[in-house]
Amino acid sequence: MIKQNLHTHSQYDDGKDAIDEIVQKAQERGFTILGFSGHGYYAKDDSSMTPEKTKQYIQDVRQAQQQAPNGLKIYLGIEKDSMAPIENVEDFDYVIGSVHYLEHNGKIYPIDYSQEQFDEMLKEGYQNDINVLAKDYYLAIERQAQNPNIQIIGHLDLIAKYNEDQTYYCFDDPKILSYAKVAIEQLVKAGKIFEMNSGAMARGYRNSPYPSIELLKLIYEANGKILINTDCHDKEYLDYGMQICLDLAKQIGFKTLEMFNGKNFESKNIEEFFV
């Protein structure tokens, strides 16, 4: 049986816990695969790892990998922001590609730092037109198809972090879904894997995972591949929401989930996964 999370943050970026503490918790919770994914350096992101921290992060995860307890495989990943390049990509086992910022009219706006800053971006940058913002966002998501170093697409609909009550837009809005559909189709063609991400649930922003049910259906219809991640920033929530994700994937119709074997991703029967 497989219990996997490849989206994990530590004290090296904006996570709460040390690498060894997270490994211990993963063992206690019965994980078979644990992947770390520190935020790659981006000068405008205070929560990203500096080059110096990145070096130490690599050393610590590699050491943990060598000392991994029986039954647990540990991998070294990185979460790449769309605004920043990855230096020495060969140092990492896999890359998560995420869009945390948008550049519009010469200014860079954070998407998920706070609701106040999201509102500022919407008002100042997009004159309160959520459709234009969403179009820009999904174009940025789509551009990740062109990056051969990215294997996993992080939190596909991050612009919905503060949209649980659908204040900004309806999840089934046809125009916004059309932007997402184009991006999803291009990413599927490029062989990218989409994560189901329960991070916003653990932190109290959403009651359901990224991506929304509507987007999951589009991924399924496009024959896209998915895996389940928790985007963990606190070891106590290392497997938070995984059962919800697993049940939802089955409900949509997915028969397989992707498993990382250290070099490549393999499609495994969804019944082989447990939480």
pTM of this structure: 0.97
- The predicted structure's pLDDT at residue 77: 98
For residue 76 the two structure tokens come to 């070294």
Residue 45 CA to residue 33 CA, distance in Å, equals 28
Q: What is the mean pLDDT of residues 159-175?
A: 97
- Percent of the residues in the chain that have a pLDDT greater than 70, as a whole number: 100
- Percent of the residues in the chain that have a pLDDT greater than 90, as a whole number: 98
Average pLDDT over the chain, rounded to an integer: 97
Pair 213, 6: CB distance under 8 Å: no
Residue 50 CA to residue 57 CA, distance in Å, equals 10
The residue ranges of DSSP E strands in the chain, in sequence order, are: 4-5, 33-39, 73-81, 94-98, 101-104, 107-110, 152-153, 193-197, 225-229, 256-260, 265-269
Residue 169 CA to residue 235 CA, distance in Å, equals 32
Closest by CA to 139, choosing from 187, 202, 191, is: 187
Q: How crowded is residue 264: how many other Cβ atoms within 10 Å of its Cβ?
A: 10
- The predicted structure's pLDDT at residue 69: 95
Residue 7 CA to residue 77 CA, distance in Å, equals 8
Residue 251 CA to residue 32 CA, distance in Å, equals 24
3-state secondary structure of 273: strand
Residue 95 CA to residue 73 CA, distance in Å, equals 17
Rounded to a whole number of angstroms, the CA Rg of the chain reads: 18
Pair 273, 4: CB distance under 8 Å: yes
Residue 232 CA to residue 218 CA, distance in Å, equals 26
DSSP bridge partners of 257:
268
- The predicted structure's pLDDT at residue 244: 97
For 25-84, how does the pLDDT look when each residue is reduced to its tens digit (9 = 90+)? 999 999 999 999 999 999 999 999 999 999 999 999 999 999 999 999 999 999 999 999
DSSP bridge partners of 266:
259
Cα first-last separation, the chain: 10
Write the burial class of residue 247 (CB in 10 Å: 0-12 exposed, 13-18 middle, 19+ buried): exposed
3-state helix, strand, coil in the chain (%, to 5): 40, 20, 40
For 172-214, how does the pLDDT look when each residue is reduced to its tens digit (9 = 90+)? 999 999 999 999 999 999 999 999 999 999 999 999 999 999 9
Q: Indicate if the pLDDT at residue 275 is higher than 90.
A: no
Residue 56 CA to residue 160 CA, distance in Å, equals 33
Q: What is the mean pLDDT of residues 125-129?
A: 98
- The predicted structure's pLDDT at residue 208: 95
Q: What is the DSSP string of 63-86?
A: HHHHTPPTT-EEEEEEEEETTS--
- The predicted structure's pLDDT at residue 87: 82
Residue 264 CA to residue 77 CA, distance in Å, equals 13
For 81-109, how does the pLDDT look when each residue is reduced to its tens digit (9 = 90+)? 999 988 899 999 999 999 999 999 999 99
